[in-house]
Amino acid sequence: MLGFLTRPLHRLLSFLCPGLRIPRLSVLCAQPRPRAMAISSSSCKLPLVAVCQVTSTPDKQQNFKTCAELVREAARLGACLAFLPEAFDFIARDPAETLHLSEPLGGKLLEEYTQLARECGLWLSLGGFHERGQDWEQTQKIYNCHVLLNSKGAVVATYRKTHLCDVEIPGQGPMCESNSTMPGPSLESPVSTPAGKIGLAVCYDIRFPELSLALAQAGAEILTYPSAFGSVTGPAHWEVLLRARAIETQCYVVAAAQCGRHHEKRASYGHSMVVDPWGTVVARCSEGPGLCLARIDLNYLRQLRQHLPVFQHRRPDLYGNLGHPLS
């Protein structure tokens, strides 16, 4: 199985998939799968997804221009779905600026993305929109909203981040998301897309396996964690957590990430990637803004779940409700 990345093995991809144009991409060969689970279907017939990596700033229009360029590139390459990271719309310098720049779902910025989806004819995962909800007038706080658009530009799902990142990491600086953001009230049921059934989450949600297991049990085949990990937690935890969520749920995991320095107060780790249900990284972005591509093989996912039926072996009679805080 092949994933796609950023330059050297261009000729191999051209040989395997004639006619596929690759502007800034190369191939990442996954580690071999167990022999019993080898897939004979042609990889070029499988749905292709694009994972976009950007460096958002407080300049919303420049951010849209950057994202639109990557989405159009993904469409040219044949992707059916493009994933954008958390805070694709902007990353502000402080909570006051965040609230000032935020918009409702019916605002100008989302309209531009609905037009972009229609223009390109592909689905968009907008990984973390700073949303002024219906309670804005009462709370003066926003939601970190993951919006899924179909290829006609219609909003087919919204998930409001349920776990807010209020942490103090030495060397990375404090973050208190709840200063400006309300936690979402519920999970969103997995959504059928041309690539498979997608379960929506956002960044810090990745640290809560209960959420990913709930989405998998509800039918998810792809989990998506659009993120903006920092420079300390990124190298230590990012890939480990993504691979763990993929292995324990036997889902594909797609993680679009912010990268680089957004302004004088904040920088992000990057390393956007796609992980298959075996836990193998099948695509990874290089340094800086760009995209990577991967094909989603649901036959392989089903075969893996058949060979390793962990969901049939669970003991809810023993675990109880794992969501309670430690005593």
Residues annotated as catalytic are: 86, 161, 203
**CB-neighbour burial class of residue 38 (10 A; exposed 0-12, middle 13-18, buried 19+):** exposed
Q: Which residue's structure tokens are 């992000």?
A: 268
User: Is residue 78 helix, strand or coil?
Assistant: coil
Compute the chain's Rg from CA coordinates: 19
Which pair of structure tokens corresponds to residue 32? 């071999």
Q: How many CA atoms lie within 13 A of 55 on its CB side?
A: 14
Question: Which residues are paired to 197 by β-bridges?
Answer: 192
The neighbour count for residue 110, using CB atoms within 10 Å, is: 21
d(CA 225, CA 237): 14
CA atoms within 13 A on the CB side of 275: 26
Pairing of strands 143-149, 155-160: antiparallel
Q: Following DSSP, what letter does each residue of 34-51 receive, concatenated?
A: PGGG---S-GGGS-EEEE
The C-alpha atoms of residue 293 and residue 288 are separated, in whole angstroms, by: 16
